A = this chain, B = another copy of it.
């Protein structure tokens, strides 16, 4: 889908654009889940608070989620799809009055790889997110103001605990699969290690068992970019006065790590902007591409949330407090599918190989892509083939 004549142009586009194109091209062959809505459910209350791993307590946690397909009588046909850093619960279909489909729409729907005719697909915005689940932009009930930088520290384990409560509330007794890429892959790994009795298989894409120094370093400079913005104000900015410059720069830094030398060279090379203001800005197309993606993120995301979620990623170590990494992974008996991308500089293939070598029952699949880490949001044909096959094998 990204090859052929359209390939070169597509590199410039975001996963949203891709998904839109692909969803349209899929019409007639596969179905769409159609119009969907996000729902919200409370999974923590003053009587049943959420005790966070780092020691904090949340007395109210709302979760925004979407479901596609129907749950079966046994509550065993559910597939949990976990989103990455800036994603949301909107994984498939369309919202009313919005043209952009969900972030994995080409993979989820009737007759698609994650087939909603047989599966009950669930996707929830993560704890600490800014798309409807309780997080830094939510009102702190004890003050009546948004938590902002005072939102208590949380990690991937807390994210999964919130999902576990949601899953239980939906009547799910066993998850056929937990699937995710990047930060979503961290959740998938945490799920199968923490709740093996609830999970029958796991798919982890473009991720490792714990965050590397390299990935932590990249998140660190992104956070510093946000905090260096005077409008950051220690995180106590008004909702309408985000540290836009800092958050945009953080995104630009991250975008470089999501792509690859070859994909940026093929798309931009040394092309210069048509109208070149030689005064300050660099005149190269790659600069305007990075700026564009920064502006786009600033419009849809929150700086405190960005900081909190990147910290949760940096703290991720599926073995921490559980023993040696190899042994913790060897204890996972579930069928596992691990996918890596050779051009991914952020989570290089060595990390996925380590997962496959240590997990008891894992298969490795290489996604052929020049696009780097973002390949897991681009290479839908390959993803579809491997996911379809894997889901067919889970209960075989």
Contacts and interface: CB of A to CB of B under 8 A. Distances in A.
Nearest to A257: B256
14 contacts: A214-B256, A214-B261, A216-B284, A216-B286, A218-B256, A220-B290, A221-B253, A221-B290, A224-B252, A225-B249, A261-B345, A261-B348, A261-B350, A284-B314
Interface residues of A, number: 48
A229 B227 contact: no
Contact of A153 (B245, B262, B278): B278
Interface in A207-258: 210-214, 216-221, 223-225, 227-230, 245-246, 249, 252-253, 256
Contacts of A350: 261-262
Interface string A248-287: 0100110010001110110111100000001010101111
Contacts of A223: 282
B217 A287 contact: yes
A270 to B, nearest CB: 6
A375 B222 CA distance: 25
Contacts of A270: 210-211, 213, 216, 317
A311 interface: yes
Leading 5 A-B pairs by shortest Cβ distance: A213-B268, A213-B264, A213-B286, A214-B261, A220-B287
A249 B264 contact: no
A311 B284 contact: no
Contacts of A227: 280
Contacts of A249: 221, 224-225, 228
Nearest to A264: B213
Nearest to A271: B213
A261 B218 contact: no
